[in-house]
Amino acid sequence: MNKILLAMLISVIVGDAMAVCPVCTVAVGAGLEGARLLGVEDVITGIWAGGLTLSVSAWTANVLHNKGVKNAFWYILNFVTYYALLAAVYFVPAGNPIVRFDENCMWGIDQFLLGAIVGTLTFFGMQKWYQHIKAANGGHAQYPFQKVVMPFGGLLIVTVIFWAIIRWLPMIGITLC
């Protein structure tokens, strides 16, 4: 059991990756940090946070698989742990919270939460699409770094869509909350 926990910890730092590569994880992480530093809306930051969380969770699951872990409990614990860490932004002490729940909402949902859900689903969908394309192409990508470009590009496209929604809907009188 200690070896499994150690494998989970090590996989966050270094590890082999087949399902989601380390370059993709770093790219999504850079996008997340860049968004927070620039002060963009929470929904856009949430998109990148959701993508990063799924990426790291898949990366860890791959390391567990390579270590011979077959018990589904560890894969579920891996997923729950990373998303619990993502949810922790709501539980920072009240004096200096990172995200204030219900301070910013969009369509009745907290913006960061909405973004995290959209980012997770986008990243998952782009990974599945990549796997489909790769299988149809004889097990090979169609171009170099396609495995990185597709999820990153998907998150970028969804970011632009939500940026446009935030920018233009209020201009025509449609409220986001």
Q: What pLDDT, on a 0 to 100 scale, did the predictor assign at position 146? A: 81
How many helices and strands, by DSSP H and E, does the chain display?
6, 2
pLDDT tens digits, residue range 63-98? 888 888 888 898 888 889 888 888 776 666 555 555
Q: What pLDDT, on a 0 to 100 scale, did the predictor assign at position 101? A: 56
pLDDT tens digits, residue range 142-176? 888 888 888 889 999 999 998 888 888 777 777 67
Q: What pLDDT, on a 0 to 100 scale, did the predictor assign at position 157? A: 93
Residues with Cβ within 8 Å of 139's Cβ and at least 6 positions away in sequence, in order, are none
Cβ count within 10 A of residue 116? 27
110 forms beta bridges with 105
Residue 10 has pLDDT above 50, yes or no: no
